[in-house]
């Protein structure tokens, strides 16, 4: 039975995959959830359509120009929606006193500050932005604890782990009978491609994920398995563990979303169709389970489940992620920033697919690793890494 108490939700990145799926779940529970605020980067047309349908109190665009265009567009059809812009607007709607939960779906470093604002305001933070933890893990987790925020993971893998964990996992995995996290990965579109052919793959090929419908940046990350590397780092922070207790398992069917291995020999797994509405609905309704609109899994149609170990020669980005986490400090911020630069350059056809890990490794070698003791230090490391990566792309690799 639907609860009568309405929850106000701010959706960071409403026009992206996470945002549109969140709104689809909200459509199924109109008496339970309402979008308090919707945000977008530059897609004025799509956000305007969402505002007309859902009538949020606020809408936020990345810059003032886009905000003015949105305000003009909404003047007749949704005049009650107040339009804001920039990081100030994002932080405002993330920490607003009337907001109950924040869906943190902005991709990349741009999502860090508003997600932190939600944690500092003690909100239910539904974390789809893995970069927030990759960049500022200890700071972020401290803010969650200090302000009694609820942190629920949205990545299908971390959500699966959360569902398979004992509730007291924060005591330390080995103290609650867990001996390993098995983090599944599809292997991306190039899992079986000959290594000598990877130089020539195109952005469109890299974005053609075999199982999931995602944005272009995260699709490339899946193809390089940097996405999985970032998830390893995120899992370490979410579940209070070290990287040697997290084993990546390539599972091409993407039916098992992740597993938890216990010291009594049990392995608990969460299975389902590859549809982001499942973890989104789980986080929105937790601890209750609510309808997501996802079709039940037909195990007879799946028929088989395959597993293989990842090959670091095929997926060097995964190796670099493990190394960056073990290095500690600002190394993970450098990893994330240089990857964002490299992926953008690949999508613009400035570098080859196989140059992406070269850019990242060069940035990790040249950047000075410091203790990640403040947000300022982390953002400085982010900027330094971007400069190194861009310089290497322009002068070290040359243009394809």
Dihedral angle, C-alpha 215, 220, 224, 228, nearest 10 °: -10
- pTM for the model: 0.91
Identify which of 5, 90, 110, 108 has the alpha carbon closest to the alpha carbon of residue 39.
90
Q: What is the pLDDT of residue 1?
A: 41
- Give the per-residue pLDDT at 150: 97
pLDDT of residue 77: 87
The phi, psi pair for 141, rounded to 5°, reads -65, -35
φ/ψ (deg, to 5) at 37: -150, 145
| Residue 126 · residue 103 · CB < 8 Å | yes
And the tokens for 330? Answer: 């600002």
Q: Give 60's strand partners.
A: 39, 84
* Digitized pLDDT (tens) for each residue of the chain, 400 residues in all: 444 589 999 999 999 999 999 999 999 999 999 999 999 999 999 999 999 999 999 999 999 999 999 999 999 889 999 999 999 999 999 999 999 999 999 877 788 899 999 999 999 999 998 888 998 999 999 999 999 999 999 999 999 999 999 989 988 898 999 999 999 999 999 999 999 999 999 999 999 876 666 678 889 999 999 999 999 999 999 999 999 999 999 999 999 999 999 999 999 999 999 999 999 999 999 999 999 999 999 999 999 999 999 999 999 999 999 999 999 999 999 999 999 999 999 999 999 999 999 999 999 999 999 999 999 999 999 999 999 999 999 988 755 4
The pLDDT tens digits for 32-70 are 999 999 999 999 999 999 999 999 999 999 999 999 999
Cα→Cα distances 24→30, 260, 276, 356, 396, Å? 10, 30, 11, 34, 45
Res 103: pLDDT: 98
| CA separation for the pair 277, 274 (Å, rounded) | 9
Q: What secondary structure does DSSP assign to 248-271, as a single string?
A: EEE-TT--EEEEEEETTS-EEEEE
Question: What is the three-class DSSP state of 230?
Answer: helix
- Give the chain's radius of gyration (CA, Å): 21
pLDDT at 95: 97
Q: Phi and psi for 280 in degrees, rounded to 5?
A: -65, -50
Q: Using CA of residue 103, residue 108, residue 110, residue 115, what is the dihedral sign? A: positive
Pairing of strands 58-61, 33-40: parallel
Q: Give me the pLDDT at residue 398, please.
A: 52
Q: What local confidence, expressed as pLDDT, does residue 216 receive? A: 85
Residue 108: per-residue pLDDT = 74
Q: Give helix then strand counts, H and E, for the chain.
A: 16, 11
Task: Provide the pLDDT for residue 397.
Answer: 76
Kindly tell me the sign of the dihedral angle through the C-alpha atoms of 97, 85, 28, 55: positive
- DSSP code, position 55: -
List of domains in the chain = 7-153 (3.40.50.720), 157-274+297-313 (no CATH), 328-400 (1.10.1740.10)
pLDDT of residue 330: 97
Q: State residue 4's pLDDT score.
A: 55
């Amino acid at each position: 039975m639907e609860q009568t108490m309405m929850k106000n939700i701010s959706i960071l990145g409403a026009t992206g995959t996470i945002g549109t799926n969140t709104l689809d779940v909200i459509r199924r529970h109109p008496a339970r959830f309402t979008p308090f605020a919707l945000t977008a980067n530059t897609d004025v047309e799509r956000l305007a359509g969402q505002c007309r349908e859902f009538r949020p109190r606020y809408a936020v665009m990345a810059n003032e120009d886009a905000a003015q265009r949105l305000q003009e567009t909404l003047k007749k059809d949704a005049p009650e929606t107040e339009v804001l812009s920039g990081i100030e607007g994002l932080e405002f709607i993330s920490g607003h006193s009337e907001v109950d939960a924040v869906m943190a779906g902005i991709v990349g470093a741009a999502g860090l500050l508003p997600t932190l604002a939600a944690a500092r305001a003690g909100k239910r933070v539904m974390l789809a932005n893995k970069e927030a933890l990759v960049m500022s893990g200890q700071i972020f987790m401290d803010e969650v604890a200090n302000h009694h925020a609820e942190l629920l993971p949205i990545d299908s893998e971390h959500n699966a782990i959360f569902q398979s964990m004992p509730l007291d996992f924060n005591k330390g995995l080995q103290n609650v009978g867990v001996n390993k996290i098995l983090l599944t990965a599809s292997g991306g579109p190039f899992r079986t491609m000959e290594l000598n052919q990877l130089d020539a793959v195109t952005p469109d090929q890299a974005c053609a994920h075999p199982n999931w419908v995602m944005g272009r940046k995260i699709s490339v990350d899946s193809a390089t398995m940097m996405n999985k590397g970032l998830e390893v780092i995120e899992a370490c922070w979410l579940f209070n563990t070290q990287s040697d207790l997290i084993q990546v398992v390539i599972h091409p069917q993407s039916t098992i979303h992740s597993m938890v291995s216990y010291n009594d020999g049990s392995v608990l797994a969460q299975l389902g169709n590859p549809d982001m509405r499942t973890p989104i609905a789980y986080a929105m309704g937790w601890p209750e389970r609510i309808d997501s609109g996802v079709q039940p899994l037909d195990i007879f149609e799946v028929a088989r489940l395959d597993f293989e170990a990842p090959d670091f020669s095929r997926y060097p980005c995964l190796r670099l992620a493990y190394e960056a986490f073990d290095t500690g400090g600002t190394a993970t911020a450098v990893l994330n920033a240089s990857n964002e630069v490299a992926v953008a350059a690949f999508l613009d056809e400035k570098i080859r697919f196989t140059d992406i890990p070269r850019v990242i490794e060069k940035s990790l070698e040249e950047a000075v690793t410091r203790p990640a003791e403040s947000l300022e230090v982390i953002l400085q490391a982010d900027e330094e890494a971007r400069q190194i990566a861009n310089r290497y792309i322009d002068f070290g690799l040359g243009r394809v």
